């Protein structure tokens, strides 16, 4: 037996907000969403099992819409007309079908421990202003970058610990990491990174290592170890980045953020990225700093040094850099006249 999901009305007096949320979820324009929600009830999805249909209704409710699911059986084949029937298709014009709502992917399912180990979480506001919400089971904890906690249930407790010492200090990170624990009952914590941009998640398995640029770490499982890796004077000085990278290893969830959007790139061979756009990369990749073009290009093109990755692995690239933003804003800076 299959089910269909229908929107029956608005659950909020702010219809415009509900339409905007609907448009974002179904990846359509706000105008199209308003048009589709003009006539209610409207069927959104058919052919679902009971659990998926219920998740659709819950997701629509969060958008500010009333929704219900009901049985949906495939229509029976039309019977052949009798010999006495005289009505033709021309006599009764076919009704113009209503515009169907576009289909969206089903709401995220709870992560099964056997298939996707780790915490249940969701990321809202991506890719512009990503906000991380993590569900902490009872007797579990999570490490969070200092000052990144935005909301939490009252059942959660916080402890501040030194982490990495001088190594984290020179990466631009805080030497303190907060550990949030759900001691007796499950709880929820909301985490807001400092930079406006996207969030990425990686579940590290035993033996896996990920390198992060300074300032990228957001949160991780307590079983993930954070260390600093010396790049060397050549790579650190000429790249314009930190002399150190953050080395994350162990087993568990790891979240990191970026300024702007984030693109994950599979590398098998060679790949070149501007040093200011690198967010993270896997341990299997070797990297070498190179100047971009000749010396004339180096000083006058607006480009500089690039990082050439070799090997097989993944690189996370950010679509914006703070240095480029500052250079762009410099032309609008007011300069006061000397007295």
User: Of the ranges 5-19, 52-66, 76-90, which one carries the lowest mean pLDDT score?
Assistant: 76-90
Give me 257's structure tokens.
Answer: 């953020």
Q: Edge-to-edge, what's the strand order for the sheet holding 187-191? A: 120-124, 131-136, 187-191, 149-152
In a domain, 131, yes or no: yes
In a domain, 220, yes or no: yes
Question: Based on the domain organization, do 29 and 140 belong to the same domain?
Answer: no
* Burial profile 39-57: b = 16 or more Cβ within 10 angstroms, e = fewer: eeebebbeebeeebbbbbb
Question: Based on the domain organization, do 145 and 18 belong to the same domain?
Answer: no
* Surface-to-core class of residue 81, CB atoms within 10 Å of its CB (0-12 exposed, 13-18 middle, 19+ buried): exposed
Domains in the chain: how many in total? 2
| Beta-bridge partner residues of 230 | 244
In a domain, 281, yes or no: yes
pLDDT higher at 33 or 110: 33
Under the banding of pLDDT at 50, 70 and 90, the label for residue 337 is low
**For residues 170 and 178, what is the distance between their CA atoms, to the nearest angstrom?**
19
- Return the pLDDT at 309: 92
**For residues 17 and 4, what is the distance between their CA atoms, to the nearest angstrom?**
24
- Return the pLDDT at 293: 53
pLDDT higher at 228 or 189: 189
Residue 217 domain boundaries: 120-329
| Distance between start and end Cα atoms, the chain | 83
Give me the phi and psi of 260, to 5 degrees please: 90, -165
Question: Based on the domain organization, do 247 and 313 belong to the same domain?
Answer: yes
Please give the C-alpha separations between residue 300 and each of 8, 22, 234, 292, in angstroms, as whole numbers. Answer: 61, 47, 22, 11
Write down the residue that tokens 């941009």 correspond to.
197
221 close to 235: Cβ distance less than 8 angstroms: no
What is the pLDDT of the chain when averaged over all its residues?
76
For range 211-238, the mean pLDDT: 74
The residue from 37, 72, 107 where one domain ends is 72
**For residues 316 and 267, what is the distance between their CA atoms, to the nearest angstrom?**
10
In a domain, 322, yes or no: yes
Dihedral over alpha carbons 274, 276, 280, 281 (to 10 degrees)? 20
Radius of gyration of the chain (CA): 27
CATH number at residue 42: 3.30.1390.10
The residue from 72, 89, 112 where one domain ends is 72
- Return the pLDDT at 143: 94
pLDDT higher at 175 or 98: 175
In a domain, 138, yes or no: yes
Highest mean pLDDT among 98-102, 104-108, 179-183: 179-183
Give me the phi and psi of 79, to 5 degrees please: -75, 150
Give me 14's structure tokens.
Answer: 């702010």
pLDDT one-digit tens code per residue, 134-188: 999 999 999 999 889 999 999 899 988 765 544 545 545 545 689 999 988 999 9
214 close to 208: Cβ distance less than 8 angstroms: no
Question: Based on the domain organization, do 139 and 222 belong to the same domain?
Answer: yes
User: Of the ranges 18-27, 62-71, 117-126, 226-235, which one carries the lowest mean pLDDT score?
Assistant: 226-235
pTM of the predicted model, to two decimals? 0.58
- Return the pLDDT at 233: 42
220 close to 141: Cβ distance less than 8 angstroms: no
For range 86-108, the mean pLDDT: 41
Cβ-proximal residues to 161 (8 Å cutoff; 6+ apart), any chain: 176, 177, 178, 179
Helix pair 50-62, 15-26: axis angle to 10 deg: 130
In a domain, 316, yes or no: yes
In the chain the beta strands, taken as DSSP E runs, fall at 2-10, 42-48, 65-72, 120-124, 131-136, 140-145, 149-152, 156-162, 176-182, 187-191, 199-204, 209-212, 217-220, 224-230, 244-250, 252-257, 262-274, 278-282, 285-291, 305-318
In a domain, 102, yes or no: no
Give me the phi and psi of 165, to 5 degrees please: 55, -135
Under the banding of pLDDT at 50, 70 and 90, the label for residue 251 is very high
Residue 83 has pLDDT above 50, yes or no: no
308 close to 280: Cβ distance less than 8 angstroms: no
């Amino acid at each position: 037996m299959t089910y269909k999901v229908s929107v029956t009305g608005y659950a909020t007096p702010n219809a415009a907000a509900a339409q905007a949320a609907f448009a974002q979820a179904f990846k359509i324009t706000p105008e199209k969403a308003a048009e589709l929600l003009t006539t209610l009830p409207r069927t959104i999805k058919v052919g679902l099992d009971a659990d998926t249909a219920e998740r659709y209704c819950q997701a629509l409710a969060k958008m500010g819409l009333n929704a219900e699911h009901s049985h949906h059986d495939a229509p029976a084949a039309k019977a052949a007309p009798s010999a006495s029937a005289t009505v033709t298709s021309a006599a009764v014009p076919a009704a113009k079908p209503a515009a169907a709502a576009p289909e969206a992917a089903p709401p995220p399912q709870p992560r099964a421990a056997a298939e996707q180990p780790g915490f249940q979480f969701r990321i809202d506001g991506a890719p512009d202003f990503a906000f991380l919400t993590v569900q902490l089971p009872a007797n579990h904890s999570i490490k969070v970058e200092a000052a990144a906690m935005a909301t939490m249930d009252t059942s959660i407790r916080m402890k501040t610990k030194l982490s990495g010492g001088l190594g984290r200090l020179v990466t631009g990170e805080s030497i303190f990491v907060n550990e949030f624990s759900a001691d007796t009952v499950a709880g929820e914590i909301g985490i807001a990174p400092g930079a406006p941009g996207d969030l990425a998640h990686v579940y590290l398995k035993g033996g896996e290592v990920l390198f992060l640029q300074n300032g990228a770490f957001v949160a991780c499982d307590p079983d993930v170890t954070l260390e600093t890796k010396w790049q060397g004077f050549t790579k650190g000085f000429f790249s314009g980045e930190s002399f150190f990278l953050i080395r994350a290893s162990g087993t568990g969830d790891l979240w990191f953020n970026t300024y702007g959007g984030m693109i994950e790139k599979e590398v098998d061979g060679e790949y070149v990225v501007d040093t200011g756009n690198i967010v993270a990369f896997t341990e299997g990749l070797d990297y070498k700093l190179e100047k971009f073009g000749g010396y004339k290009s180096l000083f006058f093109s607006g480009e500089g040094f690039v990082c050439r990755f070799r090997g097989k692995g993944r690189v996370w690239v950010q679509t914006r850099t703070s240095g480029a933003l500052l250079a762009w804003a410099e032309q609008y800076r007011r300069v006061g006249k000397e007295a």
